[in-house]
Structures are given as C-alpha cells and as structure tokens.
Amino acid sequence: MLHVLWMNGGLSCDGESVAITAATQPSIEDLVLGALPGVPPIELHWPYLDFQNGPPFMEWFHRAARGELEPFVLVVEGSIADESNKTAGYWSGFGNDPRTGQPITAADWLDRLAPRASAIMAAGTCSAYGGIHGMAGNPTGAMGVPDHLGWDWRSKDGVPVVCVPGCPTLPDNLTDTLMHLVTHVAGDGPPLELDEELRPRRLFESTVHSGCDRASFYDQSDFAAGQGSASCLVKVGCWGQVVRCNVAKRGWINGVGGCPNVGGICIGCTMPGFPDKFRPFAEDPPAPVFVPLEQTLRGYTLRVAGEQPVTRKTQAP
C-alpha cells in the first residue's frame, strides 16, 4: 500500500484542501477508492478526509518519521516559516510531540519526513514559492518547500520537489499531478517532466493568454475599458500574457470557468514572486500589448508595435 501524507500545517488558508474536493478529472474519490485502472491503491492521511483525529491521526506521521511507513508521498500545503528568526514561540505547528506535549512545527516535520519520502508535492503557491506569507515585510520569513530543502533536493527515489502552484491551485491540477506522482513512485509510470520552476511542464508550459476565451479580442485590439466587458482584459491589469497557467483552458470545475473566462483578470498566482511581483492588481498598464516571457528582475517588459519597449514597474519580491 502506498501512503499519501497530507500536511496542511504550514502557513496557509487551506485553500488547496478545499479546492481538491472540487476536482473531477480525476476526483479525489477516484484516487482514494481505486477507481482508476493502472493507478496504484493509496491510503490518504489528510485532515479533511480522515476519520481519525488527534493523536491517532498524527501517529501516521510519527510512523513515517521513524521509517515505519514506506513508501509514502508527502503533500505539503502552506509556506514554511523560518522558526529560527525569533527567541520564543513558533509560527506554525502540526500536532504535538508525544514526549514534550509541545507543537511540532511545519519546518521540523519537513526536516523529519523529507529524508524518508519517496516524493514531495508542494500544493499551492504558498507551499511552492512562499506565496502570501512570503510577501515583503512578513515577520515569519515564510518560504516555499524548495527554498527550505534546496532547489536541487531529490528524494531517496531521486524525485525533485514537485510544485503545483495556484492561489488556490486548480483542483484538477492537484489530482492530476498526485495521480502521476503515485503511479511513478509505484514503478508503474514515467517521472513527471518539470519546468525550471519545478512545475509539471505539461500543465504549465503555456500562458493563460494562449487558452483564454478572450484571446481573439486581443488579436483585434478590442480591449475592455473596465469590468463587465467581454473584451480582452489586458488594459485593466490582466497578466495572462506572461503567466504560465492552464486554468483558462482546463476550466475550474468540470471544464467550466477559469479566471479570465468568467471576467476576472489574471493576477499571476501560479508564478514565483506572487503576490509582490504582480502588485498592484487591476492597474492600467503603460502599454496595451505584452511580449510573453520577456522578463526583467523587477517587472515584465511590455511592447507596442512600432514603439520602444516599456518595463512595467512592480513591487520587488
């Protein structure tokens, strides 16, 4: 039996735990009940689903830390606080130490479990890159799993940290990635191909713009001047031309929805540096046309045909 340990003890809003309940391709029920041919049976230990609670639930994590629960995949939800930047207390905990009765921090759990995990999945932008809690000025020193473990970290099975960002993450991206990850760990599937930000390349290789329902309006230079328009949203602050995310194409639930498809601008939530790098939201850009992926350290370069490129100023990460 392959175990999946879901730790939501990091700094987060539990958005991924809520989002994954809406997944349909596949659903979390399909994974847990073994309804998918070729996908190994799993036992999911997750606060949102598990019948057990308190010490009996936490014992699965203690067993994994002792090396008594292999193989297992660790899912981390929430950013990892820097617990060394203060003289007392803790920023985030997940269960208590049976010997001392004191909370075990998320950072401590990650250090205990990472050497024994067959793979680690960072669910959500907070877990992947720090997210909301990693904003400039936050006293927690919050960071993503790759920053805590190291971007070159590999599991004992040779698997890098797999990041599935989003705020929250697209439901089907969570279950899709988890399905491929457990299949690979079980020896029944190939490894996931990741991009330079440790995201599954298949899911994050294209921009929001490439799958947006409003892309044809962009091609016709038909730009919305405010909310409530069916035209392209780039002039009211949409970052879809430079942000890598498949939400516009995959939809949110059952293929329906997706931020720009339903009138919401893309605010860059799947990207490293979010939210600082993409603030302020809903701001008129200095030019109506973006050049995808032509980036600078503190902003993204915009270009209008026949004019000099302009760098859109953003907050430093």
Mean pLDDT of 66-71: 95
Q: What is the pLDDT of residue 168?
A: 95
Q: What is the pLDDT of residue 317?
A: 38
DSSP conformation letters of the chain: -EEEEEE--SBS-SHHHHHGGG--TT-HHHHHTT-STTSPPEEEE-TTT-S--SHHHHHHHHHHHTT-S-SEEEEEESBBP-TTSSSSS-S-EEEE-TTT-PEEEHHHHHHHHTTT-SEEEEESHHHHH-GGGGSTT-TT--B-HHHHH-TT-B-TTSPBPEEE--TT--HHHHHHHHHHHHHHHTTSSPPPPB-TTSSBHHHHSSBTGGG-TTHHHHHTT-B-SSTT-SSB-GGGT--TTT-B--HHHH-SBTTB--GGGGTPPP--TTSTTTTGGGPSTTPPPSSS-EEEEEE-SSEEEE--TTS--EEEE----
Mean pLDDT of 65-89: 95
Mean pLDDT for the chain? 89
Q: What is the pLDDT of residue 297?
A: 36
Q: What is the pLDDT of residue 249?
A: 93
Predicted TM-score (pTM) of the model is 0.87
- Between 299 and 66, where is the model more confident? 66
pLDDT in tens, 7-42: 999 999 999 999 999 999 999 999 999 999 999 999
pLDDT in tens, 150-173: 999 999 999 999 999 999 999 999
Joined together, the tokens standing for residue 224 give: 């919305």
Q: What is the pLDDT of residue 280?
A: 80
Mean pLDDT of 269-290: 76
Q: How confident is residue 284, by pLDDT bands cut at 50, 70 and 90?
A: low
Q: What is the pLDDT of residue 228?
A: 86
Mean pLDDT of 57-69: 96
Q: How confident is residue 307, by pLDDT bands cut at 50, 70 and 90?
A: very low
pLDDT in tens, 115-143: 999 999 999 999 999 999 999 999 999 99
Q: Does 306 score more than 70 pLDDT?
A: no
pLDDT in tens, 181-236: 999 999 999 999 999 999 999 999 999 999 999 999 998 999 998 888 899 999 88
Q: What is the pLDDT of residue 227?
A: 81
**Range with the lowest mean pLDDT among 4-18, 213-227, 275-289, 300-314?**
300-314
Mean pLDDT of 266-293: 74
Q: Give the closest residue to 164 by CA, choosing from 155, 175, 154, 156.
A: 175
Q: Does 295 score more than 70 pLDDT?
A: no
